[in-house]
Each structure stands twice: as C-alpha cells, then as structure tokens.
C-alpha cells in the first residue's frame, strides 16, 4: 500500500519493534547498573574507612599523642586523640558491613599502629568485599576486591 506524500509518522509495527528492543535493552542494563551502584557504594565506604584511619595516624603524629580508632561493627567508628573524640565514621549497615578483628586500633606518636584486618562487605558476598589491612607501620592498605590480605579469594565476610 503506497503512502500518501502528506502522511508523516511511524507505523504500528515500527513502534512495536522499537518498544520490544527498548524493553530488551532495559532488561539487561538495569540489573547491571544496580550492581554497579552497589559496588561503588562499597568502594566509597572503604575509601571513607581508609581516610579516617589516615586521619587518626596524622593526628597522632601531629599532636605527638596517642590516637585510637574505636571499632563498632554496628555503629559509628570514633577517633579519639589524647582521650577526646575528634571524628566519627558513620556507616549504613544496610549498604556496607564493616567487621574488624580488633576492638580498637591505636596509633602512636611515631605513626605506628596496632595491626588490624577489616572487612567491608555487603549482603555477605565475599566476592565483592574489600579487606583493609592496618600494618604495624600504621599504613592502611586496601586489598583487591574479593581478595584477602594473603592474596587468596575471600570465602567469608567475617574474620
């Protein structure tokens, strides 16, 4: 059936094909985008943890006093310098769970620290978790996603 020259627009079949392709693309893209957002939030929480550890170390060296990071798996982590609260790291446990193998991390005036391992995980999924290691030198190290401090794949989010 030939079209008249004054008719413009799309046919019903063209619209149906476009909608079908759009549905397929969205069906693939939305779950991947959701996983990307969750991984980004987890990495952001890990970066915040490293920043507060570096802050505590810096304050200990600058003030020539002991700085302590009080670990709370369900609440905010508190930095105390010379016995006074200096900063807090709040975390939403529904977005990321932080589990440490110590109750506190102490930084001395020379920058050294008590060694610790911290796991930052979401939904008990060790393949997307991060392990942050606080070395005796005081340096916090973030290990590769899904890998432990020994370089092997994580099998659990708990230490």
In a domain, 147, yes or no: no
In a domain, 2, yes or no: no
The pLDDT, as a whole number, for residue 2 is 63
Per-residue pLDDT tens for 43-76?
999 999 999 999 999 999 999 999 999 998 778 8
In a domain, 97, yes or no: yes
Check which CATH number belongs to the domain holding 27 and give it. Answer: 3.55.40.10
Instruction: Specify the number of domains making up the chain.
Output: 1
Average pLDDT (4-27) is 86
> Which pLDDT band, with edges at 50, 70 and 90, does 131 fall under?
very high
- Indicate the pTM of the whole model: 0.80
In a domain, 157, yes or no: no
In a domain, 158, yes or no: no
Residue 47's alpha-carbon distances to 7, 35, 50, 123, 140, in angstroms, are: 58, 18, 5, 19, 11
Q: Judge contact between 118 and 131, C-beta under 8 A.
A: yes
Question: Residue 120 belongs to what domain range?
Answer: 12-142
The pLDDT, as a whole number, for residue 3 is 61
Q: Judge contact between 125 and 114, C-beta under 8 A.
A: no
The pLDDT, as a whole number, for residue 94 is 74
In a domain, 3, yes or no: no
Average pLDDT (17-36) is 89
């Amino acid at each position: 059936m030939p079209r008249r020259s004054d008719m413009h627009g799309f046919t019903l079949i063209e619209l149906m094909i476009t909608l079908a392709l759009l549905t397929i693309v969205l069906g693939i893209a939305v779950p991947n985008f959701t996983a990307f957002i969750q991984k980004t939030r987890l990495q952001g929480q890990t970066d915040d943890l490293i920043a507060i550890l570096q802050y505590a170390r810096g304050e200990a060296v600058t003030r020539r006093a002991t700085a302590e990071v009080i670990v709370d798996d369900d609440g905010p982590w508190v930095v105390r310098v010379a016995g006074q609260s200096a900063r807090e790291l709040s975390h939403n446990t529904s977005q990321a769970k932080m589990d440490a193998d110590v109750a506190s991390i102490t930084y001395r005036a020379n920058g050294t620290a008590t060694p610790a391992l911290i796991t930052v995980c979401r939904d008990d999924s060790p393949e997307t978790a991060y392990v942050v290691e606080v070395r005796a030198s005081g340096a916090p190290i973030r290990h590769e996603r899904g890998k432990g401090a020994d370089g092997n794949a994580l099998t659990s989010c708990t230490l």
